[in-house]
């Protein structure tokens, strides 16, 4: 598999794929992680999120035709790729492939 070059890029398609493939893992009081493959580079990543009483997450809705989240507190969480793999062109101190996307996380 060839590595995609590092590039900061935001696409709604990333959010849709992440919402389908990521798993929400509760780690304990107040902490949780989303686990899944980065939609851009395919590497497994873990994304720490501030936990509430988690219900679900969705890609950020672009129109009213999308699924309706359950009632609760909806928070938009920006998720960035934090994979540990090398990506050409990445500066020292940066992580991942540069992909980022927005999820709506619903808590109660
Ligand atoms: Zn990667
Ligand atoms: Zn990535």
Q: Please report, for the chain, the start and end positions of each structural domain, with discontinuous segments joined by +.
A: 9-107
d(CA 8, CA 33): 22
Q: How far is the CA of 51 from the centre of ligand 2 (A)?
A: 23
CB atoms within 10 A of CB 50: 11
Q: How far is the CA of 42 from the centre of ligand 1 (A)?
A: 6
Residues 6 or more apart whose Cβ sits within 8 Å of residue 60: 12, 15, 76, 102, 103, 104
The pLDDT score that the predictor gives to residue 38 is 96
The pLDDT score that the predictor gives to residue 84 is 92
The pLDDT score that the predictor gives to residue 47 is 85
Q: How far is the CA of 30 from the centre of ligand 1 (A)?
A: 27
User: Which protein residues have a CB closer than 5 Å to ligand 1 (ion)?
Assistant: 41, 43, 83, 85, 97
Best CA proximity match to 60, nearest among 9, 15, 27, 93:
15
Burial class for 27, CB neighbours closer than 10 Å (0-12, 13-18, 19+): exposed
Taking the CA of residue 79 as centre, how many other CA atoms within 13 Å lie in the half-sphere pointing to its CB?
A: 36
Tokens of 21: 């493939």
The pLDDT score that the predictor gives to residue 58 is 66
CA 44 to chain centre: 11
Residues of the chain with pLDDT under 70: 1-2, 50-71, 108
The pLDDT score that the predictor gives to residue 57 is 66
């Amino acid at each position: 598999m060839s590595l995609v070059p590092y590039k900061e890029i935001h696409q709604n398609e990333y959010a849709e794929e992440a919402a389908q493939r990521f798993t929400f893992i509760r780690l304990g009081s107040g902490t949780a992680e989303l686990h899944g493959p980065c939609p851009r580079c395919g590497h497994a990543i873990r994304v720490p999120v501030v936990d509430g009483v988690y219900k679900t997450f969705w890609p950020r809705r672009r129109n009213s035709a999308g699924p309706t989240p359950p009632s609760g507190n909806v928070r938009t969480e920006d998720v960035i790729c934090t994979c540990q793999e090398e990506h050409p062109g990445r500066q020292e101190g940066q992580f991942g492939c540069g992909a980022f996307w927005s999820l709506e996380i619903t808590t109660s």
